[in-house]
Chains A and B, each alone.
Chain A
Amino acid sequence: DTGVSQNPRHKITKRGQNVTFRCDPISEHNRLYWYRQTLGQGPEFLTYFQNEAQLEKSRLLSDRFSAERPKGSFSTLEIQRTEQGDSAMYLCASSSLPPNRGEEAFFGQGTRLTVV
């Protein structure tokens, strides 16, 4: 297994356009997380899936954001009507147990979004 894979690695889009990112977790992991990281800050939690069920969402996840994990495998994060404030690194992570049980979350290298 090559770890958590995210595509694309970079995305430049015009304000108002929709974008979609993909995350392929480590194959045996049933838990998947999305985070957002801006320059000079730590990652901020967006949402959590256990298998295909979305069990936790942050207030940061506005109505323009939607995440899915069909069949409990890969996940997509879509941002509609992008704004300049959406420019950030979007990180995906996966784990076999949740971190509140002391389990390690494995992170992908992220998708860097730039909204111009």
Chain B
Amino acid sequence: GNSVTQMEGPVTLSEEAFLTINCTYTATGYPSLFWYVQYPGEGLQLLLKATKADDKGSNKGFEATYRKETTSFHLEKGSVQVSDSAVYFCALSPDSSYKLIFGSGTRLLVRP
């Protein structure tokens, strides 16, 4: 079946540190891949996406590359800010379905 596995949190970093949040997936065919973010008190919002192998999604300094050979879509940022503190969800949408399948989320806490 289709599933997403992401690293457990919380992840605690100091401001300006490098961030990696691992995400691997299981899917048939060629799913679209997403990172959604949930800031405190707000709804889920799209952070970045990639729709085919080797695509790199990027937004607000975050990047993730669609790696079909390793079935991964790891989220990275070179220098995190306090305002990046949030819960990050990796998700996929199978090409045979209309739904999003989410990982369990990773909470990021950035300290000044």
B102 near A42 with CB under 8 A, answer: yes
* Total A-B contacts with CB atoms under 8 angstroms apart: 72
Chain B 4-24 per-residue mask, 1 if CB under 8 angstroms from chain A, else 0: 100000000000000000000
Tell me which residues from 13 to 58 in chain B have a Cβ below 8 Å from any Cβ of chain A.
Answer: 31-32, 34, 36, 42-46, 49, 51
Q: Is the CB of B99 within 8 A of A33?
A: yes
* Inter-subunit contact A98/B98 (CB<8 Å): yes
Report the count of interface residues on B (CB-CB < 8 A).
27
Tell me the bound Cα distance from A40 to B89 in angstroms: 11
Cβ contact of B98, chosen from A48, A104, A107, A108, cutoff 8 A: A48
Which A residues touch B89, using CB under 8 A? 42-43
B100 interfacial by beta-carbon distance below 8 Å: yes
Within 8 A of B (CB), among A15-43: 31, 33, 35, 40-43
Given A109-B43, A110-B43, A104 and B49 touching (CB < 8 A)?
A: yes
Measured CB to CB, the closest approach of chain B to A2, in angstroms, equals 12
A43-B94 contact given A100-B32, A101-B32, A109-B43, CB 8 Å threshold: no
How many interface residues does chain A have, given as a range?
A: 20 to 34
Q: Which residues of B contact A (CB under 8 A)?
A: 4, 31-32, 34, 36, 42-46, 49, 51, 89, 91, 93-105
Known: A45-B99, A100-B32. 14 other contacts (CB 8 A): A31-B98, A42-B89, A42-B102, A42-B103, A42-B104, A43-B89, A44-B102, A48-B99, A56-B97, A56-B98, A56-B99, A106-B45, A107-B36, A110-B43
Query: 9 shortest A-B CB distances, which residue pairs?
Result: A42-B102, A99-B93, A102-B51, A45-B99, A107-B44, A100-B93, A109-B43, A104-B46, A98-B98
